[in-house]
Structure 1
């Protein structure tokens, strides 16, 4: 029965959440999907870089021991900066909307990373696979965009299509 539950969860986790990513592209166009991807991944990069350099205060040692508050600040800063650059360069949204967008995507992306870490801990795995050298697997690459996609879709729906 646990295999059945895992199958349903996989369908929802990968299928439903990735449908929001596709929806952003179809419903809002090229620049919003690029903005979404760049903002979420810049948050990941900012969290890693700042957390590695300055991280001292753990915020989730039982789930993801490497996560720090300093890394979270780096994620927010990077996401907001990239969102502001897209908003200014491509006239996608107002500057204050870009700040909110970057801030929220940084947090939802980090939640996705924590959720994927919980799944790995639950299955007693360090990495989700060895298919992507230097990373914890393909899920470590897509976890933050998957979790952030529903928020981004709704944000674009109200801000762009508004």
Structure 2
């Protein structure tokens, strides 16, 4: 051990134990299990209730984003974006993409009108940020509603979540154990190519199991879902890392012990949702 290596004898026992990747692992696992139970219960009991779960999660994410953007002088028109976004989610579930598209168009107009009251200074900046959040959060969430409305909708949603979460877990484990070659050191220093390999192995394996046994689809559709999930989950994670770097923050919040803010967990899911819907819609017939 070198002289500047951390010594276990001087560690503070009152501090949470963190893994090599910087997480409080027991807390992270506990939060993850709790969130999984919430998802499963809402899907099993009344599948429409999951739309409410998505709406609450995305609205909390919007609140976290608005707080982060406020640190650099950006004021998101919260009320029209949140209200219109929830209407988009419900509209997508009840009336499909056409209803969601109309709701989004009206929300964009409503956001511009709402911002008029604060004058010209920062109008473009704030309005653009509001439309960005509407698209980044609620438009992506609409594709969850579209998966859910199918007869086998709950299983499609579970397959999409499993593909994304196992990609994250596989990447985390492989990165901690074998990570040596940074993937994007200027964006996310802890993300490695070895981690991406772990994401592919875990994501593809889990997606094949879900597609074959839960959705009665072909194994190669599971491969497609797994690969798409890994690629877009990675891009979503990198994109949020850039947002945080641009805003000069480490985490979007501290709502979830061991994870950070809720947006720090939603970043991969919201990026994977559209491609997961497309893969399942095109390759896996409704059962």
Q: Any conservation in 2 of the 1:50–1:70 contact (CA below 8 Å)? A: yes
The CA distance in 1 between the partners of 2:278 and 2:224, in whole Å, is 13
The CA distance in 1 between the partners of 2:138 and 2:215, in whole Å, is 31
Where in structure 2 are the equivalents of 1:83-162 lying within 5 Å?
83-161=207-285
Gaps of 5+ in 2: 1-121
Larger radius of gyration between Structure 1 and Structure 2: 2
TM-score by length of 2: 0.54
Q: Of 126, 131, 145, which aligns to 1:8?
A: 131
Question: How many residues of Structure 1 are paired with residues of Structure 2 in the alignment?
Answer: 162
Where in structure 2 are the equivalents of 1:8-47 lying within 5 Å?
8-27=131-150, 28-47=152-171
- Compare relative contact order (CA 8 Å, sep 6+) and give the higher one, 1 or 2: 1
Q: Any conservation in 1 of the 2:229–2:276 contact (CA below 8 Å)? A: yes
The CA distance in 2 between the partners of 1:142 and 1:5, in whole Å, is 21
Gaps of 5+ in 1: none
The residue aligned with 2:86 is none
CA RMSD of aligned residues (A): 1.4
TM-score by length of 1: 0.94
Q: CA deviation at 1:130?
A: 1.1
CA offsets, 1:52-74, max 9 Å, x none? 11101001111111110000011
Q: Secondary structure at the match of 1:132?
A: coil
Q: CA deviation at 1:91?
A: 4.2
Change (3 A) 1:16 1:135: same
The CA distance in 2 between the partners of 1:88 and 1:61, in whole Å, is 37
Please identify runs of 4+ aligned residues in structure 1 that moved more than 3 A: none
The CA distance in 2 between the partners of 1:41 and 1:151, in whole Å, is 15
The CA distance in 1 between the partners of 2:183 and 2:197, in whole Å, is 12
